[in-house]
Amino acid sequence: MSTELRRHIATLPLVDHHVHAPLAATVSRGRFETMITESDRPIPAGVTQFDSQIGFAIRRHCAPLLGLPAHAPADAYWNARRERTPEELSDLFLTEARASDWLLDTGFKSDELLPTETLAARIPARFSEIVRLETVLEKIAATSSAASLADDFRAALAEATVSAVGLKSIIAYRYGFDFDPARPSAQEVERAAGAWLREPATATHARVSDPVLLRMVLWAGVDTGLPLQLHAGYGDPDLDLRRCDPLLLMPWLKEIEGAGTDVVLLHCYPYQRNAGFLAQVFPHVYFDVGLGVNYTGAASTAVVAESLELAPFTKVLYSSDAWGPPELHHLGAVLWRRGMARALGDWVEEGEWAEDEAIRVATMIGRTNAQRLYGLTRD
């Protein structure tokens, strides 16, 4: 592999365009292991998540940062890790990821994570916000009414996005992508809102799962003109993976084509080829393979390479989707860099690509595509 290509990818300041903050508190080993799986079930006796692709990748790529040899045993890794505070672990792993920008989704269990202000004061990088649509709606539920919910939501969204660079929807989790693509009518919204607000849990920020209300917030997001991220594919058992294939979005993508809003399909595994097709045929569609890269570990080179098959290279982005353990912030960067270097390096060695073109494409995907899409300041 070309030394220059490898060096460029290894030192490229990344824009992680979809990520969460790291943990604010010390956790037990058992809790840590639940955070390196997408399962929400108890880990069976005699089973450890360190015996998985992501567990092996942590021991390979994160152990050396704790002063251990690569592939250190899980017990040795845990003992070295627990000697550091959450802030120290965050400083170490996020800095080593070598990202210039982190675009933080602040809408999921943010009370368990380090505040953005703390991160910005400690990490040599810029932090921007991605606003989660469903979280905004759930926060206003207790003070709204069926008749006013739509207007209240739009007002709350306008306030929440004053300094945000993008939006996020988890309609894949709450319903699936096989929803009616049309904008819901005011009457539909009011009826659905009335039923939702009558639920007893509303006073404690009830979970919104009604497809009409999910469509309402999705269309409101489109109306802002901000880039709109949609979780697609793999995630925890709260979703039905069969209904998270991004191909199911085609009717809605056609419906909003021309609205001026770009849609970013997040993660997409195991549907990354389907997402690449959508990014090829629709000018307003982008995608990444973020979450799938961390969890496939040593096998992630194939996932990264598959993301380069169909889509224009200007439509592919980098993300880690790290949440909680800061190892995931570092690991996403390490595995993406490795996968890009191997995929592009092979094509250069085979004479299919010129080296300067490989360097340019790596830079686009790792950095400049996100800067352009989200209107980030360029150095």
Structural domain of residue 356, as residue ranges?
3-26+85-374
Q: Is residue 154 part of a domain?
A: yes
User: How wide is the angle at C-alpha 124 spanned by C-alphas 123 and 128, nearest 5°?
Assistant: 80
pLDDT, position 76: 98
User: How wide is the angle at C-alpha 335 spanned by C-alphas 285 and 275, nearest 5°?
Assistant: 20
* Span between the terminal Cα atoms of the chain, in Å: 29
Instruction: Using DSSP, state whether 350 is helix, strand or coil.
Output: coil
Non-local CB neighbours of 224 within 8 Å, separated by 6+ positions: 157, 161, 167, 261
pLDDT, position 201: 61
What's the CA gap between 60 and 101, in Å, rounded?
25
What's the CA gap between 99 and 126, in Å, rounded?
9
User: How wide is the angle at C-alpha 224 spanned by C-alphas 169 and 222, nearest 5°?
Assistant: 50
Q: Is residue 69 part of a domain?
A: no
What's the CA gap between 270 and 286, in Å, rounded?
16
pLDDT, position 206: 81
Q: Give, for all 379 residues of the chain, the pLDDT tens digit.
A: 678 999 999 999 999 999 999 999 999 999 999 999 999 898 898 889 999 999 999 999 999 999 999 999 999 999 999 999 999 999 999 999 999 999 999 988 888 999 999 999 999 999 999 999 999 999 999 899 999 999 999 999 999 999 999 999 999 999 999 999 999 999 999 999 999 998 876 444 589 999 999 999 999 999 999 999 999 999 988 899 999 999 999 999 999 999 999 999 999 999 999 999 999 999 999 999 999 999 999 999 999 999 999 999 999 999 999 999 999 999 999 999 999 999 999 999 999 999 999 999 999 999 999 999 999 987 6
Token pair of 156, please? 């709350």
Total structural domains in the chain?
1
pLDDT, position 200: 73
Non-local CB neighbours of 7 within 8 Å, separated by 6+ positions: none
pTM: 0.96
What's the CA gap between 322 and 227, in Å, rounded?
20
C-beta neighbour count of 179 within 10 angstroms:
20
Q: Is residue 129 part of a domain?
A: yes
Q: Is residue 49 part of a domain?
A: no
Non-local CB neighbours of 283 within 8 Å, separated by 6+ positions: 257
Pairing of strands 126-132, 166-169: parallel
Q: Is residue 331 part of a domain?
A: yes
Which H helix or E strand runs over 31?
helix 29-34
Query: What are the C-alpha distances in Å from 49 to residues 31, 74, 270, 295?
Result: 11, 10, 21, 11
pLDDT, position 203: 45
Is there a contact between 333 and 99 (Cβ–Cβ < 8 Å)? yes
What's the CA gap between 139 and 122, in Å, rounded?
29
DSSP assignments along 135-152, one per residue: HHHHHHGGG--TTTHHHH
Q: Is residue 59 part of a domain?
A: no
The single-letter code of the amino acid at 106 is T
DSSP 98: T
Burial tier of 69 (Cβ tally within 10 Å: 0-12, 13-18, 19+):
exposed
Q: What is the CATH number for 14?
A: 3.20.20.140
Q: Is residue 354 part of a domain?
A: yes
Q: Is residue 66 part of a domain?
A: no
